[in-house]
Structure formats: C-alpha cells, structure tokens
Amino acid sequence: MPRTRFLRTCFIFVLLLTLAGCGSSTSSGTAPSTATAITKNCFVDPSGPRVPAVYAASATPTSGPAPAPAVSGTPVTLSNGLKYVDIKTGSGPAAHNGSTVTVNYTGWLASTCQKFDSSYDSHGSQPAQPFSFPLGQGQVVKGWDDGLVGMKAGGIRRLFIPSALGYGSQANGPIPANSDLIFDVQMVSMT
C-alpha cells in the first residue's frame, strides 16, 4: 500500500504542475498554448508613424483604409471619456459649436479595428464625397460634436468615441450595440 500511495501522490503532484503551467507564459516570453482573448488597439500605437502614409500624400485617399492605420501621439482625454490625437494640424480659424464643417472620415470598430464606413468610399451609385453638418447641433453622434471642436481646415484628427458618445445600446447598420468607435476625420473646410 505505501508504494501505491507514493505513486498516487507523485501523479497528483505532476498533474498539478502541468495544470499550473497551462495558463502562464514561459520565461522566454512565448504565448500560452491555451486560447486567450486578444485585445486590439487601433487608437494609438507608440511604434506607429506620426502621419500614416495614407494621409502623407497631398492627394485625397481613393478609399478609406480597411484596418485603421497605426498612428502615434499623445492623446487628449476629455472628461466624458472621448479621446483624440491630432494626426495633422490644419490652419485658419478653429471649428466651434455652430460652425458648418465639411469632413472626410473613415470609421472602425474599436473591438476589431475593421472599417464600417468611409466618406472616401463610393456607396452604391453614389460617388465618394465629403460630409457637411453644423457642429454642436446634435445632427451627428455626440463624439463628433465634442471631438471636432478646435479642428482647423486641413487638419486630421483620430477620435476614440466611447459607446455612450456614439450609438450607445442601439445597433446602427454594421455597428453592433455598445460599440466603441475609432474615426479619422479630415476637416476639408469650416465656415
């Protein structure tokens, strides 16, 4: 009997060591063998360029990038959770509530970094075209009304819009309910 008890104790010890090692990474930094959720970050990437190549040329992009291009910079965080990074600073007067702004944009789901809409893309029979609206009048999501204040013509700003400042608990087309959103918005003009 003592030998059986010893073997059983050794088996349990080896089993516990094996189970303990399954959920952790090794000291060499390799990923664990079990499946884990991967959190994507398409808002700011410290190793990304200041201005992505898609915006570096003087020409307007012919389509919105499918995945969000990496950008670097120090985000500004507003008290309501909205964050933004200026990719390019424009010139002239700054947009304010009541300004009529004309913008080009591309939007991505923050959870997947995949595009859901872009003014650079044609939509069926409609050609690509900028979008105009009065700022601060509730005609767009709150994240745009708050996040575009201070932009100047020619500027490009990346916005991180928490769900509450986007579509909240309502799904909207390809945007699931409770989705945080990422937008690159280029200020074409402001009056």
pLDDT band at 157 (very low <50, low <70, confident <90, very high): very high
pLDDT band at 126 (very low <50, low <70, confident <90, very high): confident
pLDDT value for 123: 74
pLDDT value for 76: 96
Instruction: For 53-190, give the CATH class.
Output: alpha beta
pLDDT band at 183 (very low <50, low <70, confident <90, very high): very high
Q: Which range, 1-15, 116-130, 173-187, is most confident?
A: 173-187
Burial class (CB in 10 A: 0-12, 13-18, 19+), 160: buried
Q: State the Cα–Cα distance between residues 27 and 191, nearest whole angstrom.
A: 58
Domain boundaries, the chain: 1-35, 53-190
pTM, two decimals, is 0.76
